[in-house]
């Protein structure tokens, strides 16, 4: 028992709610009270005393002996609550709510209500169904990768013996006018444009086709009615254009020589075989993730226990934050998304409610299976996972292990156990044919 805590006890209130009683030693609480006084005395004044100089006993006499109890509890609570968690061996899943705080002989008694992670019975996972996936690379997929490689290795060459044509890259100077007046943003020099790309106003690129390098000419176009600049929307305009240069992308031939240039293979067939293998590896990785997701959802449907609302809320919070970070990575922000869609925060949270419920129940099911099957991880497996994670975060393995600490190491161990449990589930699961509409995810 800690010198700060005299006694702890736990009472189960049902539905995963517990009442935790903590008896804090008088000396420990007295230290917290004094720390609370020192923290706040600079803000307090009384007649006859300078600000920050009022004795603690005088303040407690004036305002009551409990004057510093709340601040003292903020100071000491995290430590004594952690002691109670370890002694009573429970896992809280919600913020603790202090119900009682009273003086007792030798100290103070603190009563806290909280919800704990439910202990569920491991579901029967044999024979769960998942959608059979097609893992074979098609000729079309292989051809698309080859096409991308050919385009990536194209040479850009200058054209001097013909006029500009669709697909050419032209370099132009231009200036736009409406009713004979140049408009803002309508002028550029040495601008590179791929004809047929649709980058410019409809009709602009087509009027460059047939012109030769050095030509100067007018391009007549009308801005779309929905153009973003109101002063130009629907306006007829003339662009003064000078064609400086014409280039063309010359694609290499897809043959053995190309395969030798872009890979370590001697023939095109060997190169295509490697592409096929890589496509099928990616398909298998994606299929494994999707299968595990399907099986986790199937497991979640086997968990019928009452789940503390706080666990669902915490998962909703995680999913909403994840979505917000995704928007930020794309250069957007969450507030702008809600304004654009007309959604409110309650509506966004409701959008993730079912998914959060499935995730929590599926996670609890897997944890129960880990316990029932007594799944363990070896030091070698932990060491290998540390090395993988350290490489991911670009850290030395020893530095990574020290950084994550005991809690992080437990999380790594738990993740590995869950992965092993999922492999056991997949090993006895059944693949079934489903249409896209019938798939669970």
Per-residue pLDDT of 97-123, as tens digits, reads: 999 999 999 899 999 999 999 999 999
Cα angle 423, 429, 433 (rounded to 5 degrees) comes to 125
Q: Is the pLDDT of residue 125 over 60?
A: yes
The 3-class SS string of the chain reads CCCCEEEEEEEEEECCEEEEEEEEEHHHHHHHHHHHHHHHHHHCCCCCCCCCCCCHHHHHHHHCCCCCHHHHHHHHHHHHHHHHHHHHCCCECCCCEEEEEEEECCEEEEEEEEEECCCCCCCCCCCCEEECCCCCCCHHHHHHHHHHHHHHCCEEEECCCCCCCCCCEEEEEEEEEECCEEEEEEEEEEEEEECCCCCCCCCCHHHCCCCCCCCEEEEEEECCCCCCCCCCCCCEEEEEEEEEEEEEEECCCCCHHHHHHHCCCCCHHHHHHHHHHHHHHHHHHHHHHHHHHHHHHHHHCCCCCCCCHHHHHHHHHHHHHHHHHHHHHCCCCHHHHHHHHCCCHHHHHHHCHHHHHHHHHHHHHHHHHHHHCCCCCCHHHHHHHHHHHHHHCCCCHHHHHHHHHHHHHHHHHHHHHHHHHHHHHHHCCEEECCCCCCCCC
Q: Is the pLDDT of residue 39 over 60?
A: yes
Dihedral, CA atoms, 113, 94, 400, 406, nearest 10 degrees?
A: 20
Query: Among the listed ranges 11-25, 38-52, 151-165, which one has the minimum average pLDDT value?
Result: 38-52
Residue pair 249/169 in contact by the 8 Å Cβ criterion = yes
pLDDT of residue 51: 83
Band of pLDDT at residue 49, cut at 50, 70 and 90: confident
- Does 5-115 match 155-250 in CATH topology? no
Rounded CA separation 305/264 (Å): 57
User: Can you read off the two tokens belonging to residue 301?
Assistant: 């449907």
The overall average pLDDT reported for the chain is: 93
Q: Is the pLDDT of residue 439 over 80?
A: no
Give Cα 327 to chain centroid, integer Å.
Answer: 10
Report the DSSP pairing between strands 97-104 and 17-25.
Answer: unpaired
pLDDT of residue 333: 86
Rounded CA separation 311/307 (Å): 7
Rounded CA separation 202/428 (Å): 58
Q: Closest by alpha carbon to 167, among 252, 255, 254, 251?
A: 251
Query: Among the listed ranges 63-67, 265-269, 337-341, 348-352, which one has the minimum average pLDDT value?
Result: 337-341
Q: Closest by alpha carbon to 103, among 1, 29, 36, 40?
A: 29
Q: What percent of the chain has pLDDT over 70?
A: 98
Q: Is the pLDDT of residue 351 over 80?
A: yes
pLDDT of residue 434: 81
Give me the residue spans of the domains in the chain.
5-115, 155-250, 267-432
pLDDT of residue 441: 46
pLDDT of residue 1: 57
pLDDT of residue 44: 86
Band of pLDDT at residue 189, cut at 50, 70 and 90: very high
Q: Is the pLDDT of residue 229 over 90?
A: no
Residue 15 region by backbone torsions, left for phi larger than 0, else alpha for psi between -120 and 50, else beta: left
CB atoms within 10 A of CB 431: 12
Predicted confidence (pLDDT) per residue in 159-176, tens digit:
989 999 999 999 999 999
Most confident range, picked from 47-61, 198-212, 323-337: 198-212
Rounded CA separation 222/202 (Å): 8
CATH class of 5-115: alpha beta
Per-residue pLDDT, averaged over 32-39, amounts to 94
pLDDT of residue 128: 96
Q: Is the pLDDT of residue 281 over 80?
A: yes
Rounded CA separation 344/351 (Å): 11
CB atoms within 10 A of CB 4: 18
pLDDT of residue 438: 59
pLDDT of residue 149: 96
Predicted confidence (pLDDT) per residue in 386-430, tens digit:
999 999 999 999 999 999 999 999 999 999 999 999 999 999 999
Per-residue pLDDT, averaged over 220-231, amounts to 91
CATH class of 155-250: alpha beta
Q: Is the pLDDT of residue 48 over 90?
A: no
pTM of model > 0.75: no
Show Cβ contacts of residue 422 under 8 Å, excluding neighbours closer than 6 positions. Answer: 292, 295, 296, 366
Superfamily of domain 267-432: Trigger factor, C-terminal domain (1.10.3120.10)
pLDDT of residue 43: 87
Buried b (16+ CB within 10 A) or exposed e, 377-408: beeebeeebbeebbeeeeeeeeebbeebeeee
Residue pair 320/310 in contact by the 8 Å Cβ criterion = no
pLDDT of residue 319: 96
Q: What percent of the chain has pLDDT over 90?
A: 85
Residue 278 region by backbone torsions, left for phi larger than 0, else alpha for psi between -120 and 50, else beta: alpha
User: Can you read off the two tokens belonging to residue 133?
Assistant: 């996936």
């Amino acid at each position: 028992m800690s010198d700060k805590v005299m006694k702890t006890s736990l009472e189960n209130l049902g539905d995963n709610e517990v009442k935790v009683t903590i008896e804090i030693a008088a000396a420990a609480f007295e230290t917290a009270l004094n720390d609370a006084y020192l923290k706040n005395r600079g803000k307090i004044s009384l007649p006859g005393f300078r600000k920050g100089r009022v004795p603690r006993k005088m303040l407690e006499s004036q305002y009551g002996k409990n004057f510093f109890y709340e601040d003292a509890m903020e100071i000491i609570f995290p430590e004594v609550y952690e002691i109670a968690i370890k002694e009573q061996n429970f896992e809280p899943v919600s913020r603790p709510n202090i119900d009682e705080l009273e003086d007792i002989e030798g100290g103070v008694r603190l009563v806290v209500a909280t919800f704990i992670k439910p202990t569920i019975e491991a579901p029967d996972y044999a024979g769960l169904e998942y959608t059979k996936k097609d893992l074979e690379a098609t000729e079309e997929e292989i051809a698309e990768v080859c096409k991308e490689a050919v385009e990536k290795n194209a040479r850009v060459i200058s054209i001097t013996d013909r006029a500009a044509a669709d697909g050419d890259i032209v370099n132009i100077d231009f200036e736009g006018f409406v009713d004979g007046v140049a408009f803002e943003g309508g002028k550029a020099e040495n601008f590179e444009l791929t004809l047929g790309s649709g980058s410019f106003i409809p009709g602009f690129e087509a009027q460059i086709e047939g012109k030769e390098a050095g030509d100067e000419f007018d391009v007549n176009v009308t801005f779309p009615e929905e153009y973003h600049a109101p002063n130009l929307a629907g306006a007829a305009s003339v662009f003064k254009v000078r064609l400086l240069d014409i280039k063309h992308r010359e694609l290499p031939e897809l043959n053995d020589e190309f395969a030798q240039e872009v890979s370590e293979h001697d023939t095109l067939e060997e190169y295509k075989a490697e592409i096929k293998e890589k496509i099928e590896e990616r398909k298998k990785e994606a299929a494994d993730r999707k299968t595990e997701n399907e099986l986790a959802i199937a497991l979640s449907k086997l968990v019928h226990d009452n789940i503390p609302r706080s666990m669902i809320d915490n998962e909703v919070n995680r999913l909403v934050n994840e979505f917000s970070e995704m928007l930020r990575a794309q250069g957007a922000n969450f507030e702008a998304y809600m304004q654009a869609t007309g959604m409110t925060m309650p509506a966004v949270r409701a959008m993730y409610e079912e998914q959060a419920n499935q995730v929590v129940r599926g996670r609890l099911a897997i944890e129960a299976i880990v316990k029932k099957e007594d799944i363990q991880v070896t030091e070698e497996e932990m060491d290998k996972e540390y090395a993988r994670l350290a490489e991911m975060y670009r850290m030395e393995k020893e530095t990574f292990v020290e950084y994550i600490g005991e809690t992080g190491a437990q999380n790594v161990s738990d993740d590995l156990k869950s992965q092993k449990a999922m492999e056991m589930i997949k090993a006895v699961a059944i693949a079934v044919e489903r249409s896209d509409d019938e798939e669970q995810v």
